[in-house]
Amino acid sequence: MTAPVADMAQAVRTVREAVRRHSVRFERAIPLIASENLLSPYAKELLISDFHSRYAEGVPGERYYEGNEQVDEVENLCLDLARRLFGASFADVRPISGTVANLAILKALADPGDPVGTCRLADGAHISSAAFGAFGLRAVKPVYYGWDLDRMTIDVEKTRTILKEARPRLCLFGLSLFLFPLPIRELAATLDEIGAVGWYDGAHVLGLIAGGEFQDPLREGCRVISGSTHKTLPGPQHGILLGDRLAPEQEKRLRSGAFPGVTSNHHLHTMAALAVSLAEHLAFGAAYARATIANAQALAQALHERGFDVLAPNLGFTRSHTTAVRVTREGGGEAVARRLAAVDIITNKNLLPGNTSSKHPDGIRLGTPEVTRVGMGKAEMVRIAELMDGLLHRDRAPATIAEEVHELKRPFTTLRYCFAEGEAAYRYYDLVGRDP
């Protein structure tokens, strides 16, 4: 089937124009999605390199395609940097996303029908743990841990009992609403007793772990980590596997889980960008992790002082990049997230413990990875809280709030914590320079 050239040229123009408008919008906005971040210029340019066009199935030195010498060089360096950043003896950088990394682990370390430990979605677990997600695809049976509502973390005593009874082979620790470190050290003896492998999904907190500001799962009792690489670790949209104290057979199974299990080709351009991001995090990540957490705590405190129901006030609200706010009084998670987006404060509605409807949850989730990356600090966190208070508690006009949001963002549109600091953060890369 063919279509008129003029119509298809219009389709191309429409895409380019929408992406340009998106870029301009985000340059003016306050993006507070906890799972998003900005890519450094040296990492970003690799996304449009020739690596994008190539195949490299297999591992460095043992490929199924020719022409991979430089790909091998970059992948070996990427693996070295990953092992070094996380103190891991094992790394695999072929999973193309966090969920794909999770599937690789499930394929390698569990069989269909096996019980696998995890938290419930409403307690903050990722959709990988759901029957409609990776757990369901591998047909493993979730064994849900107990949850301590007061401490917003796993209930150790209840979970010990649950694990001893269900005896899962694999126990997943990881959250998408990740406020506090999980009690892995406290559960490590139980994992050993039942012969379970501890698995940490660090997607949200990899950058904080690597920066030395969160728990260190490989030293606390987990043997394998999965993650996406674009949240607090400000890399490309990609996935990673890391491990320590694994048997050679387990490493082999993980490699074969990644390829040919859940990838054919991996994405070489994002892998190269990941290598740059890992190097930059080794250089700048500690300061970035500290600033990101300090900003999350400052934002939570400022919101709390303005009457918002921020979770876990008795625990200092958060020890991560994320804070959660129960916005039932303000109209519920969905309505509030929409009202905020209309003034260019970008958040997401989020399930809170006890919620059952993911469409109409009580919460919103706020994250500071991106605003920290462009150099915002405590004063700006207080200002964001004031703007949210004005919109949601004081009936200030949305148009005025939106102007103030743009005013607040204006000086913060270049990148920090990377080489080429000060380069534009939201630039649209217009390679052709003209529309068709």
Instruction: Please report how close the Cβ of residue 35 comes to ligand DSN at its closest, in angstroms.
Output: 3
Instruction: Please report how close the Cβ of residue 351 comes to ligand DSN at its closest, in angstroms.
Output: 11
Nearer to ligand DSN, 126 or 281 (CB): 126
Residue 130: CA atoms inside 13 Å, Cβ hemisphere, count? Answer: 13
> How far apart are alpha carbons 152 and 148 in whole angstroms?
6
Instruction: Please report how close the Cβ of residue 411 comes to ligand DSN at its closest, in angstroms.
Output: 27
Instruction: Please report how close the Cβ of residue 365 comes to ligand DSN at its closest, in angstroms.
Output: 8
Nearer to ligand DSN, 162 or 203 (CB): 203
> How far apart are alpha carbons 263 and 92 in whole angstroms?
12
Contacts of 123 (CB under 8 A, 6+ apart): 147, 175, 177, 353
Nearer to ligand DSN, 358 or 413 (CB): 358
Angle at the Cα of 210 (from 208 to 211), degrees rounded to 5?
60
Question: Site residues (CB under 6 A) for ligand DSN?
Answer: 35, 98, 126, 176
Nearer to ligand DSN, 98 or 257 (CB): 98
Nearer to ligand DSN, 98 or 353 (CB): 98
- Helix then strand count (H, E) for the chain reads 15, 17
Beta-strand (E) ranges in 104-176?
A: 115-118, 141-144, 147-148, 153-154, 170-173
Nearer to ligand DSN, 152 or 196 (CB): 152
Nearer to ligand DSN, 269 or 365 (CB): 365
Residue 321 three-state SS: coil
Instruction: Please report how close the Cβ of residue 346 comes to ligand DSN at its closest, in angstroms.
Output: 12
Instruction: Please report how close the Cβ of residue 114 comes to ligand DSN at its closest, in angstroms.
Output: 23
> How far apart are alpha carbons 178 and 183 in whole angstroms?
13
Nearer to ligand DSN, 124 or 261 (CB): 124
Q: Which residue has the tokens 């987990």?
A: 222
Q: What is the largest CA-CA distance in the chain?
A: 68
| Contact by Cβ (8 Å): 363, 324 | yes
> How far apart are alpha carbons 82 and 84 in whole angstroms?
5
> How far apart are alpha carbons 306 and 314 in whole angstroms?
16
Instruction: Please report how close the Cβ of residue 267 comes to ligand DSN at its closest, in angstroms.
Output: 17
Got the DSSP string for 169-202? SEEEE--SS--S---HHHHHHHHHHHTPEEEEE-
Nearer to ligand DSN, 176 or 226 (CB): 176
Select the residue whose beta carbon is closest to ligand DSN and give its number: 35
Instruction: Please report how close the Cβ of residue 290 comes to ligand DSN at its closest, in angstroms.
Output: 22
Residue 410 burial (CB < 10 Å; 0-12/13-18/19+)?
exposed
Instruction: Please report how close the Cβ of residue 16 comes to ligand DSN at its closest, in angstroms.
Output: 27
Tokens encoding 394: 């004081």
* Closest by Cα among 321, 324, 245 to 285: 321
| Contact by Cβ (8 Å): 331, 308 | no
